[in-house]
Amino acid sequence: MILAVLTLSTFTAGAGFAADAKAGEAVYNRACKSCHGADGTPNPAIAKMMKVEMRDLKSPAVQALSDADIKTIVTAGKGKMHAIASVTGPAVDNVIAYVRTLK
């Protein structure tokens, strides 16, 4: 596991700052999927529990948000969604790149 992390960071450093949707998929599955579903379809149990209407991440309305908007949502939260403290640095850009592939 430590080796995998080292390899990944070496690769990311070598690749510069380009966001990596493949790495973002792992972040998404760990930090977003439980609420937003595997493909961006909101988990109805979460929406009900949090008493909020959740929009599908694949929807044109959500895809119309800028990367900067999504970054703010992930790092600072929005409405009933708290900031995702476990996702920081390049992982934020990577998970946004992955969210773009859902549409």
Residues that bind ligand HEC (CB under 6 A): 31-32, 34-36, 46, 50, 52, 54-55, 57, 62, 70, 73-74, 78-81, 84, 87, 95, 99
- Which pair of structure tokens corresponds to residue 22? 């493949």
H-type helices in 15-103, by residue range?
Answer: 21-31, 33-36, 44-49, 60-63, 67-76, 90-101
Q: Give residue 27's identity as a one-letter amino acid code.
A: V
CB of 75 to ligand HEC, least distance (A): 9
Nearer to ligand HEC, 10 or 29 (CB): 29
Nearer to ligand HEC, 7 or 34 (CB): 34
